[in-house]
Structure 1
Amino acid sequence: MEQEQLERSWQSKLQATVYILLFVILFGWLLKIGQNFLLPVLIAIISMYILVTLTDWLGRLWILKYTPEWFRRIIVVIGFVIFTLGFSHIVIVTGEQILSAAPTYQHNLEKMVQQLGIKYGWAQDADWNSIRELTIDRINMQTVISYLITTITSFSSMVVLIIVYAMFLIAEKGRFADKLSKAFPNGRADRTKNILIDINKKIGDYLAVKTLINIILAVICFIILWIFGVEYALFWALIIGILNYIPYIGSLLGVIFPVSLALVQFGSIQITIVIAILLTIAQMYVGNVLEPKMIGKQINLSAFVVLVSLSLWSSLWGIAGAILAIPLTSIVIIILAEFQTTRPYTLLLMDNIED
């Protein structure tokens, strides 16, 4: 009898595991095929968290302290629309200018390589000529830049949808509590409301502070690029700020892109190295000093979970998935922590289980 019960228990556990795996596979497939629909919605939700938190921050200022909340929301939404449309315009216009300048960059790169070959006596070396044929001579700056700009401008096609979704979400926020109480009677509404409050608090504060940090980083990098005369400094500063949402590799990419442009623009390794060092110092200061002080432990995820979530979401949605990886993973963990059966798994994903 006990043997039969034990077998049934193992069968039920195995069956549950299979169902979970099938659900995960199906859910991942739906995320992949639904990218064009889901991305604008999720970006709008993330934007709403930032806008709502900024609205609360404005309420602490003595100038706007006594103004109604709807007035502060209007100010924040107007600023969001102006920034989003402005960013989209800068990306499109700058992308066209960079593409038109691609032949010049190609010429500067080839000239720099030729000068290095002559200076160090590599020009007549058979091995150097073979290496050059396999590397430098195969680089087409117009193709490389075109790919990067196409990837970035893909966000611009969502701008109108994101703005519309975000505005409607903010408008619906005030009535959501009443809808929740009617949709989930018998006390379930309070539990759902507590989950949403926890998500709003942790994710909203994290995104708002992270956005402020990225703005500071973008301003510092813009000053560095502007002083050295790097073309499209504002564009690259905005890209650095956006990429800094991506943990670990975002700061690396934020240095590589403008430094690569500086190399093909000036054709000078010395100037490029100085720019790279200054941008790296700015990234290190923000990442190691400013960010820990301002954000602290608002997002309690282990480093391994951050890397896995980054790989997962970026494999599904590319750069957009990498940017959204931390907020989306944090939301999933907050929801799982509210259920008794899944709570133990959330402890394995956290960095500090005492929080």
Structure 2
Amino acid sequence: MEYESNRGSLFLKVFFAFIAAVFFIYILRELRMIFIPFFIALLLYFMLKESVQKLEAWKIPKPLIMIGLLLVIFICLSLFGLLLFIGVSSFIDNFPAYSENITRVVKSVLPSLKLPILDVEQYIANFDWDKIFNPGQITALVSGTMGNFTSFIGNLLLVLLLLMFMLGEKVPMIARIARTLSKERGEELQRIVAAIDTRIQHYLFIKTMLSLITAILAALILFAGRVDFIIFAALLVFFLNYIPTFGSLLSTIFPVLITFLRYGFCLRLVLVAASLMVMQFVMGNVIEPQIMGRSLNLSPIVILLSLIFWGWLWGVVGMFLAVPITSALKIIFESIPTLKPLAAAMSGE
């Protein structure tokens, strides 16, 4: 009888936990326009907090630090926007050369496929590839992509506003919450937050340095291969490298595609693609694990599942935030006795 009662109680706990999890995921998805800027601001807060504290220790007024920080962010965003504009404009200007290469490659490949089309060579010769690959359509595509520019600016301002409030607090929110708890619980809360802070700061610092080195190496490879849009491709490598596993793969697609469009099937294409893939493999699977050490201690399958889940939940931004959020959840689970088995399952050891 007691066994049946315990089993029924466990079933109810699991059932209500499942309902709560589904409801929580629903809230995260429906209110993503609020949560995404908040988590981005929180990530930037972890990155910048220590620098702000050091500047304060040098007796620099906090309002001056905030103004300087906003100025640096504005300059970085302006440079990124300028490089993006130059890259897209250059691609549109040089597209006739790419269009000719595309036409030549397609004409050389399609006949070898032995498609069941009468007079295939004449069909290819008379086909107007410019209707498919033309600057007008590319411009329309770019315009459509930038159609949500106002929304992007609004989200950016919200992120900066949240970041300024987080960095501008005299007493952190966690410290204020800890004051309302018992001494033991307050210390435990601050210990958990400090562990999350340290681990995420360490991860972001190393990831940023490695992404920068990877982007520089990619730029050197593309320069040696005389590939177009080197700076834009290097920027893609830098930002996509924050996405584990998938990011390094995605970052090689653009430069390899540009090399193919510019030079077609040739030894240069093979060398550029092979060099980029070998470099990404060494940086991601040899150097990064050695430097990163056990700072995250997350299982590779957990990282992969977190990328899929947060990518489904919040898109590309979710993939950028997946590892820091999962690492923070693991630290929280480690501090709750009933969730310690789940934390152990997430561990990489």
Deviation at 1:331, TM superposition (A): 0.9
1:90 matched to 2:83: yes
The one-letter code of the counterpart of 2:80 is F
1:217 matched to 2:217: no
Deviation at 1:190, TM superposition (A): 1.6
**Matches of 1:152 and 1:210, distance apart in 2:** 31
Q: 1:290 aligns with which of 287, 292, 310?
A: 287
Alpha-carbon distance change, 93 to 167 in structure 1, aligned in 2, over 3 angstroms = farther
Deviation at 1:92, TM superposition (A): 4.7
**Matches of 1:148 and 1:14, distance apart in 2:** 53
**Matches of 1:113 and 1:340, distance apart in 2:** 62
1:276 matched to 2:269: no
**Structure 2 counterpart of 1:248:** 245
Deviation at 1:183, TM superposition (A): 3.9
**Structure 1 counterpart of 2:25:** 28
Alpha-carbon distance change, 150 to 103 in structure 1, aligned in 2, over 3 angstroms = farther
SS in 2 for 1:298: coil
1:110 matched to 2:100: no
The answer as to whether partners of 1:105 and 1:141 remain within 8 angstroms in 2 is no
**Matches of 2:306 and 2:138, distance apart in 1:** 28
Deviation at 1:186, TM superposition (A): 4.6
> 5 Å matches for 1:84-163?
84-95=77-88, 97-98=90-91, 104-115=97-108, 122=112, 125-126=114-115, 140=132, 146=141, 150=145, 157=153, 158-163=155-160
The one-letter code of the counterpart of 1:296 is G
Deviation at 1:250, TM superposition (A): 1.2
Deviation at 1:160, TM superposition (A): 2.9
Alpha-carbon distance change, 110 to 212 in structure 1, aligned in 2, over 3 angstroms = same
Q: 2:315 aligns with which of 312, 315, 318?
A: 318
Deviation at 1:116, TM superposition (A): 5.2
**Matches of 2:233 and 2:50, distance apart in 1:** 27
SS in 2 for 1:231: coil
Larger CA deviation: 261-270 vs 318-327: 261-270
Larger CA deviation: 23-32 vs 86-95: 86-95
Give unpaired runs (5+ residues) of structure 1.
Answer: none
1:282-318 deviation per Cα after TM superposition (whole angstroms, max 9, x unaligned)? 2123213331232111111111111111111111122
**Structure 2 counterpart of 1:67:** 58
The answer as to whether partners of 1:54 and 1:76 remain within 8 angstroms in 2 is no
Alpha-carbon distance change, 24 to 66 in structure 1, aligned in 2, over 3 angstroms = closer
Q: What TM-score comes out, normalization by structure 2 length?
A: 0.82
1:19-69 deviation per Cα after TM superposition (whole angstroms, max 9, x unaligned)? 11111111111222222222121111112212235557xx5xxxx897347
SS in 2 for 1:122: helix
1:350 matched to 2:323: no
**Matches of 1:37 and 1:260, distance apart in 2:** 36
1:227-281 deviation per Cα after TM superposition (whole angstroms, max 9, x unaligned)? 4332221111111111111111211111112211221133343222221122123
Q: Work out the percentage of aligned pairs sharing the same amino acid.
A: 24
The answer as to whether partners of 1:314 and 1:322 remain within 8 angstroms in 2 is yes
Calculate the aligned-residue CA RMSD, in Å: 3.6
SS in 2 for 1:180: helix
Matched pairs, number: 335
Give unpaired runs (5+ residues) of structure 2.
Answer: none
